Amino acid sequence: MKNILITGGAGFIGSHLVRLMVNKYPDYRIINLDKLTYAGNLANLKDVENMPNYEFVKADICDFERMREIFSEYHIDGVIHLAAESHVDRSIRDPFSFAQTNVMGTLSLLQVAKLAWDGNFDDKLFYHVSTDEVYGSLQPDGGFFLETTKYDPHSPYSASKASSDHFVRAYHDTYGLPVKISNCSNNYGTYQFPEKLIPLFINNIRHNKPLPVYGTGENVRDWLFVEDHARAIDLIFHQGKIGDTYNIGGFNEWKNIDLIKVMIKVTDRLLGRPEGASEKLITYVTDRAGHDLRYAIDSTKLHEELGWEPSLQFEEGIEKTVKWYLENQDWLDNVTSGEYMNYYKEMYHV
């Protein structure tokens, strides 16, 4: 396999994956295909844009005819599909665009791959990147999500991702398309759009703005450093079994409020403020509708079959992450200008 199409490569996780693949596999041609929505940003890939094995194509995965042309022009033989609408709060306000991109876009891409490969599936692969949110919500003592856990999505975002996962499996079972799926827990790290909890709160602490904690702050998420997710995708893409699903997570659960206090501690220290100075910014606000209580991934299969494990302890990862956002205020200012400010004002009533 030589010509690898990565969809959504200008987004948060996609840009880390593109960087890893371009640097690690000089013999591959990595084609980053992205529509450049508000979440897509080519500034995330400045360091690889001139590499000889990297190309960027601006396109919409929902544009069936254009995608057919791209498959034929680039002789695509592997797909790693990350393009999606990814923010739960936006899905509550505008579910249709989530069905359009995440469901119809994925279905369209599957059909394009099926037609382009025309039954000749040797050395071909469609790898779909998904989320642990498809499994629903766990009680505090409710164990972990396994690859066999029944799907039970609650938000329009997770419903759209669950639907796309089902279509990917349907194309495998019905047409024999060689597919793989992974479901990962919450990612954090550099280049994450600051609508998501960690970069939003680091930016707000810096600017002494309120930190809007949904509900009681007792909800639990399982956090993984984004570069470890990218390493897992690389491993599964090359060594995972066709037709299989792999859960990815770091056994790293945090109650939101505890995580927020860690962020405050690290950010205050790096800004030279007295310890805990920014705790006064914590503001409890109306809960997210349908807010899942707890996510926790069991990634034993990935560890036992492919030997993957996270490379970073959370303390080290969060330190690196806070530092990066504080040192890259220009990146934050760029992505938070314009349309994002309207979203922010409407979302947080400021």
Q: Is 14 in the site for ligand TDX (CB under 6 A)?
A: no
Selected from 133, 165, 222, 227, the binder of ligand TDX by CB under 6 A is: 133
Q: Which residues are catalytic?
A: 132-133, 157
Amino acid at 313: Q
Q: CB 271 → ligand NAD: shortest distance, Å?
A: 26
Q: What does the DSSP 8-state code read for residue 206?
A: H
Q: Is 104 in the site for ligand NAD (CB under 6 A)?
A: no
Backbone phi, psi, residue 169, to 5°: -65, -35
Q: Give the integer Cα–Cα distance in Å for 156 and 93.
A: 9
Q: Which stretch binds ligand NAD (CB under 6 A): 83-91, 280-288, 307-315, 341-349?
A: 83-91
* Neighbour count for residue 238 (Cβ, 10 Å): 12
Q: What does the DSSP 8-state code read for residue 149?
A: S
| Residue count (the chain) | 350
Q: Which stretch binds ligand TDX (CB under 6 A): 34-42, 46-54, 67-75, 85-93?
A: 85-93
Q: Which is nearer to ligand TDX, 88 or 112 (CB)?
A: 88
Q: CB 295 → ligand NAD: shortest distance, Å?
A: 10
Question: What's the sign of the alpha-carbon dihedral 315, 317, 318, 322?
Answer: positive
Q: Which is nearer to ligand NAD, 158 or 278 (CB)?
A: 158
Q: Give kind and range of the element (H or E) at residue 320.
A: helix 314-327
- Using CB under 6 A as the binding criterion, the count of chain residues that bind ligand TDX stands at 16
Q: Is 34 in the site for ligand NAD (CB under 6 A)?
A: yes
Rg (CA), the chain: 20
Q: Is 344 in the site for ligand TDX (CB under 6 A)?
A: no
Q: Is 310 in the site for ligand NAD (CB under 6 A)?
A: no
The residue number with the shortest CB distance to ligand TDX is 131
Binding partner at 206 among ligand TDX, ligand NAD, none, C-beta below 5 to 8 Å by kind: none
Q: Give the integer Cα–Cα distance in Å for 180 and 237.
A: 8
Q: Is 35 in the site for ligand NAD (CB under 6 A)?
A: yes
Sequence-ordered list of residues with C-beta below 8 angstroms from that of 227, at least 6 positions apart, any chain: 16, 20, 189, 311, 312
Binding partner at 212 among ligand NAD, ligand TDX, none, C-beta below 5 to 8 Å by kind: ligand TDX
Site string for ligand NAD, 166-185 (x = CB under 6 A): ------------------x-
What per-residue string of b and e applies to 271-303 under the rule 16 or more CB within 10 Å gives b? eeeeeebbeebbeeeeeeeeebebbbbbbebbe
DSSP output for 4-24: EEEETTTSHHHHHHHHHHHHH
Selected from 4, 5, 6, 12, the binder of ligand NAD by CB under 6 A is: 12
The 3-state secondary structure of 146-175 reads CCCCCCCCCCHHHHHHHHHHHHHHHHHHHH
List contacts with ligand TDX (CB under 6 A).
86-88, 131, 133, 186, 196-197, 200, 212-214, 219, 221, 256, 288
Binding residues for ligand NAD, rule: CB under 6 A, are 7-8, 10-14, 34-37, 39-40, 60-62, 82-84, 86, 101, 105, 129-131, 161, 184, 186-187, 193
